[in-house]
Structure 1
């Protein structure tokens, strides 16, 4: 790409991003755009990290990060779902000491905010998952690692200095999934997270495809056919040493609930299923051996349901009945969102795009800033509502807004 062509593509990219409903750049009172921050420490919220990330990350990679399916309405629904709940403020409660720690499967974390398994993080910053791991270590946070990460689970675990949870795509060959689980167990993974929400096959991700048109670098992972992209995924470090010759796709439309039972038989680690959106499926997952549930629609990337994960959460909580931990992801941008999710019955939450905005903006410091900002906002919400422990949060602390 020529210098002139590259500058033109970048201008077109920023024009596209500015007109997108997924863009949330901060604005000043007179409607003018706020000036960009120059360090992670200056960020007032995760959206200021997003503004910098959008300028740093190549267009095709930013499109991959931000895309939903079709016109991105389920992405928007995830975030909008939290605006339908308000906080019930309480007075004259001693909130001088607040504990936001959480314990999951015997592992203690300093915050209920975990890092979602988001693939190929070197697409957003050269340090990729290692920067995320170092930031998670400093914050005492849970990190979930994608099967198709840029860096192996062994290296990420070393950087994190503690077990990470390993996310597994089923693949069209269950023996490959079993081999991935065994590798994760050998690396000391704290849990296995099986993604279920892509089993129906991929859907058209229009934002990703449009932004890829503005980025003419020779990259099959961005511009290739589905088969070429699948081949790229199978070259990722976590597949090294595993026979993938029979794998056609990392999703597996033909598999059923037997898949959960089969993986349950392979590992003694806690097994969570990620992608549950109904009470019926939550009950089946538990019967099939799942130890935990992640309420998720893949950040709006797996379905065009228009149903927010926070809207599905109460139904799943009722179905599980306290028998297993529940984590929810999708649309969490503020600490108040975390407060509402836990009040509705989640044991923890997970963020994806916000910490990658931090990664793309400022690397490790940006990831840490994203977590810090959301934690700080959670603490503020708890003080406002007179709650000093996450265990005390419940529906009495929130109010549905008509």
Structure 2
């Protein structure tokens, strides 16, 4: 019996080839940031209130004018077909069976965007965008997404090239035969890092204006980690921000997204929605992110775990566990609706700040030596 997302992670590892597992799970460099994403949630305690009559908590929310059953979406993940032959088709079917929440389709999806939309059966879809040097190819993908009813564009802004992912380098990772990005054409995608180095376009803030010139869809920027960039994103016309370090897969040594969240929320000041990804593994993690100001979270690797274990049903089970844990945590914390969640719900675990100061002091001494 699988009762937690950790149970699905353990089961998925035994079902995937070691190099594929490392491709999904690995981070950049020494994987400090990868570990920090999950660890940040463990450094917070929840502060429940009692005698508040919270029996059947309501998790519904509205983001960019669209009602979601819960403040959770499926993060963009490339090549679901590495986890299951049906790939994204199973993912959207499994998501729809669990809740009406968005699935963000990756530029590097393993199934065609039209068939993904058909399988979603009206479930909300967003498109994640990497701007390629071939802007015409990027534009065609956006137009196709708009044509099938995608509701937003999520521009990944932290990837001028892929981070130094040591697991993939040690494995000499190459996409297996038959695994290709179904919505792109004309390139050699066999080694993802090599393709990114050759074909990802260098970007500046004008890319937001360009996206607005080719589509009427809302544009969110994914990969923001500082208050300065958050404020600049809003000024540039972004409709939303995703606080993200790419699951620890780009620049190792950047902060956990939960740690970066408060300064970004302050800078945005309610002008656009702020979403967070990275390290969410339990319903109480969702609650903590909302308490620190996120409007919703994106969940990535656990969805692939469910997909690898049992296809669409595995995705449904993973999301049902997460959303069930969220409802359970809300009720036990005395919350009947999301509007009651605020910063008073969380505090740092005892000693966490002092441990952090000691760790930073050791880093400074090491750098000085």
| Range of TM-score over shorter length | 0.7 to 0.9
Cα offset for 1:209?
3.1
- Choose which of 165, 176, 181 in structure 2 pairs with 1:236: 181
- Choose which of 108, 113, 116 in structure 1 pairs with 2:72: 113
Cα offset for 1:174?
2.7
Matched, 1:48 2:4: no
Structure 1 CA distance, aligned partners of 2:196 and 2:163? Answer: 19
**Partner SS for 2:270:** coil
Contact kept in structure 1, 2:275 and 2:298, CA below 8 Å: yes
Cα offset for 1:222?
6.1
Cα offset for 1:112?
1.2
Contact kept in structure 2, 1:192 and 1:271, CA below 8 Å: yes
Matched, 1:221 2:167: no
Structure 2 CA distance, aligned partners of 1:318 and 1:341? Answer: 14
Structure 2 spans left out of the alignment, 5+ residues: 190-194, 353-369
Residue aligning to 1:149: 109
Cα offset for 1:240?
4.9
Matched, 1:378 2:326: yes
Contact kept in structure 1, 2:220 and 2:240, CA below 8 Å: yes
- Choose which of 50, 54, 58 in structure 2 pairs with 1:91: 50
**Partner SS for 1:265:** helix
Contact kept in structure 2, 1:173 and 1:247, CA below 8 Å: no
Structure 1 CA distance, aligned partners of 2:334 and 2:341? Answer: 10
Matched, 1:320 2:265: no
**Partner SS for 2:275:** strand
Residue aligning to 2:22: 63
Structure 2 CA distance, aligned partners of 1:247 and 1:393? Answer: 40
Residue aligning to 2:152: 191
Structure 2 CA distance, aligned partners of 1:249 and 1:280? Answer: 29
Structure 2 CA distance, aligned partners of 1:241 and 1:107? Answer: 36
- Choose which of 156, 165, 177 in structure 2 pairs with 1:205: 165
Cα offset for 1:143?
0.6
Cα offset for 1:172?
2.0
Structure 2 CA distance, aligned partners of 1:111 and 1:157? Answer: 21
**Partner SS for 2:214:** coil
Q: Output the TM-score relative to the length of structure 2.
A: 0.88
Q: 1:81 to 1:186 in 2, by over 3 A?
A: same
Cα offset for 1:241?
9.3
Structure 2 CA distance, aligned partners of 1:44 and 1:109? Answer: 24
Residue aligning to 2:207: 259
**Partner SS for 2:155:** strand
When the two chains are superposed, the root-mean-square deviation of aligned CA atoms in Å is 2.2
Structure 2 CA distance, aligned partners of 1:333 and 1:378? Answer: 11
Superposed CA offset, 1:294-345 (max 9, x none): 0001100011124100001111101111000111000111111100000111
Contact kept in structure 1, 2:56 and 2:331, CA below 8 Å: no
Contact kept in structure 2, 1:61 and 1:222, CA below 8 Å: no
Contact kept in structure 1, 2:245 and 2:254, CA below 8 Å: no
Structure 1 CA distance, aligned partners of 2:270 and 2:58? Answer: 21
Cα offset for 1:152?
1.4
Matched, 1:289 2:237: yes
Residue aligning to 2:304: 356
Contact kept in structure 2, 1:118 and 1:145, CA below 8 Å: yes
Q: Output the TM-score relative to the length of structure 1.
A: 0.81
Residue aligning to 1:29: none
Structure 2 CA distance, aligned partners of 1:273 and 1:353? Answer: 20
Superposed CA offset, 1:341-377 (max 9, x none): 0011111000111111111111111111111111111
Structure 2 CA distance, aligned partners of 1:248 and 1:71? Answer: 21
Contact kept in structure 2, 1:63 and 1:207, CA below 8 Å: yes
Superposed CA offset, 1:68-126 (max 9, x none): 01121111010001111110021111111211112112221211111011011010111
- Choose which of 326, 337, 344 in structure 2 pairs with 1:396: 344
Cα offset for 1:265?
1.8
Corresponding residue pairs, total = 342
